[in-house]
Structure 1
Amino acid sequence: MKNILVPIDLSDVSEYALEVAVAIAQKHDATVILLKRLIFPTLEYTMIDNDFYEDKEDYYRYLTQESKDRLKDMIDRPTCRNVEFRLKVVRPEESLADSVAKQKVDLVVMGSTGASGWKEWTKGSNAEHVVRKTSCPVLVVKSPISEFQNVVFAVDFENEEFFKTSSTLLDTAKIKPHFVYVDNGTKLFDADVLRERVGKWVFELGYSFYHFEIIEADSIEKAILKYAEKADADIIVMYTHGRKGFQHFIYGSIAEDVVNHAKMAVMVSH
């Protein structure tokens, strides 16, 4: 873990994400990159005499410096000490997801309020698009949180590496792991075999305590969210196939749906 990227829009949820990223960076001696995407035109720019700036580039330079000054103010606090920061301001020509995807980082930590209804169908959330386009793990934060204790691992027994990798970001000694498998009618596995496999994972990861539950439900996403709420989870950990284009249109993404609708944090690996 060398570089952690935090998209910042100066909202409360992006501050929550920054706090989580700083805690992870302190644990792993990593650099935190703060990414701010410029918004243009601003209300200020439309209301002033635009001749005040010789050209639009002058105004961009002003916005860039203003953004960096505000980012510096955000990290000028005792909790951010002993962490190396880099500040990056990008132009508005490309989406936030595209800007994030271009960065070579090991983890993205971002805040999100999610998306539902018409917004979800037409635009989705920034977090949803980042999860889709970014190849590294994405940790989506929804509310203030100091540490992750109740952790729900949504498993399908096709990919086992994602939760092993994610576990390196969590404190094995403190967390209470919950493994949940949703059978949506396929019944591909025998329950006793699944329990044996989970027991093997738990032994390998060094957990002394765990829960495992098999749920029969038509909607995998809704079943995961319902179980996470019942378990009072601080975070859901899962993976995505990263489908794009036509495949995404046909099959969708359970992980993206969970990111949009979860009330707690979600970590998605590819």
Structure 2
Amino acid sequence: MQITWIAPGESLPDPALAWGPDAPVPGLLAAGGELGVERLLEAYGNAIFPWFSDNQPILWWSPDPRMVLEVARFRLHRSLRKTLERFRRQDGYEVRIDHDFEAVIRACAAAPRAGQSGTWIVPDMVEAYLGLHRAGHAHSVETWIDGRLAGGLYCVAIGRAVFGESMFARQADASKIALAALVSFCRRHGMPMIDCQQNTTHLASLGAREMPRSAFISHVARARRQEGPAWHFDPLYWDELLLARPLPLT
């Protein structure tokens, strides 16, 4: 099978041209190009993302179906609810947004992954997303305990479209707290879903589910045109989860 090679400055292909489910690597769309801010905004705005390892060219992906977490359907399991209630009450425990984005992305790059010997967050990716953060389109949600960064995640945001990227934890449940905070933030600001890219058992247990790529592209097209919120976290946002009536499982 042939793969489209992208020259610097050349537009990315239509996501519908990505390799299908019977291909050797479903979802692969193109290779090459560059990782500047404009390129990343073009990619995410068209439901495409980069994902590659050391010694590989830049690879661009748009899987079908797409795994998404609709924030209204986030499953707040009993154990996590108790963790959040304790976290909210304790002095020195707080969520911060964009306090130390670089520390978060570097921690995500260094975090061990089950079944993986390396990381896809290679140095070129780190530098690219630092640039995207400086441009106001990449954000970190951070769990701080007694003045120390205990865990967190980073994501991309264009308008009200949110794309989850990676998370890490140095203390138990610290990454889950950050994800719950992002869900609370998105609920408060009318951001209906978080892109999770690919299907995993863990994401499914939290309420994420697959969506046809065409529907996801339509969502992104609408959400990216809407004005995005100011990215900061107010403890009152926890009410979006802790006081909400859970939806029935479907």
Structure with the higher fraction of residues in helix conformation: 1
Instruction: Return the structure number with greater relative CO, CA threshold 8 A, min gap 6.
Output: 2
Fold match (TM-score > 0.5): no
When Rg is computed on C-alpha atoms for both structures, the one with the higher figure is 1
User: TM-score category by the smaller chain?
Assistant: under 0.3
